[in-house]
Amino acid sequence: MRVFLIGATGGVGRRLRKRLVSAGHQVTGLHRRDSQKEELEADGVDPLNIDLMNTSSERLAEAMKGCDVVVFSAGAAGAGVDFTDGIDGRGARFAAEGARLAGVNRFLLVSAFPDAGRGKEPSPDFEHYMQVKKQADVMLTATELDWVILRPGTLANEAGSGKVRVGLAIPYGTVPREDVAAVLHSLIEQPEVKRVIIELTTGEQVVEEAVAGMAAFSGR
C-alpha cells in the first residue's frame, strides 16, 4: 500500500513509519525541517517537505495522488495556540479536503481521549487544544471519507506490549506510543474497519484481534 503519513517525524509517526516500511508498504512522510529529510530517507521513507502551517488542500491533494490511505498523526505538542490552530485544526481540515480532492478515501486521524488531563488543573492552552481536537473530529465525521478516529490515552515512551484495549468508550488509561503505532498499522491493513471512533489504552488483547473486532461497529 502507498501510505501518506502526516506527522512522520513525531513520537507515534517515527514508530509507525518503521513498521510500515518493514511490512513492505511505500510511505511518503511529511517533514518541516531540512534536518529531518535524512532520517526519513534512512528509514526507507519518501520525504516530502510540507509545512502544515503554510499549505493548502490543493497542495496536499497533489502530493497525495496515487496513495491508498492518509494517516494524520501530527500535533502541535504544546507549542501554543497558534500552532494548535494551524496543525491540529486547519492542518487536519486541509488534509481531509486534500484526500477528497485526490480521491484517497481512507483517512486515519489520531485524536485525543476525551478524559485527557482529568484530575489536573487544565491550562487555557490545554483547554483550547482539546476544543480544537474535538472540532477536527466533528469535521472529519461530516465527510464522505472512510475515516477512523483513534483516541489514545496518555502516551508513554515505554516499550509496547502488543496488547491493547479498544472500544467505543473505555476507561481512561495510558498506552505506549509503540502500541499506538501498531494499532494504526493494523487499521491500515484492515480497511473493513471504517467510520468509527476508537478509544485506546493498554490492555490484554492482541492488537490485530482488537482492531478486527472493531469492524462490527464500523459504519457503512
Q: Per residue in 121-173, pLDDT tens?
A: 666 777 888 899 999 999 999 999 999 999 999 999 999 999 999 999 999 99
Q: Taking residues 198-216, report their average pLDDT.
A: 97
Determine contact, residues 179/202, Cβ cutoff 8 Å: yes
Q: What is the pLDDT of residues 182-193, one digit of tens each?
A: 999 999 999 999
Q: Which residue in this structure is represented by grid cell 513492505?
A: 24
The structure's pTM equals 0.94
Instruction: Tell me the one-letter amino acid at 131.
Output: Q
Per-residue confidence band for 35, with pLDDT thresholds at 50, 70 and 90: confident
Determine contact, residues 145/99, Cβ cutoff 8 Å: yes
Determine the pLDDT at residue 82. 83
State CA 201 to chain mean position distance.
15
Q: What is the DSSP letter of 159?
A: P
Q: Across the chain, what does the average pLDDT equal? A: 93
CA–CA separation, 192 and 168 (whole Å): 16
CA–CA separation, 111 and 98 (whole Å): 19
Q: What is the DSSP letter of 35?
A: G
Backbone angles phi, psi at 119, to 5 degrees: 90, -5
Q: What is the DSSP letter of 78?
A: T
Determine contact, residues 109/89, Cβ cutoff 8 Å: no
CA–CA separation, 205 and 189 (whole Å): 18
172 classed as catalytic? no
Q: What is the pLDDT of residues 71-82, one digit of tens each?
A: 999 986 666 788
Q: Pick the catalytic residue from 95, 129, 150, 203.
A: 129
Residues 6+ away with beta carbon under 8 Å from 118: 172
Determine the pLDDT at residue 102. 98
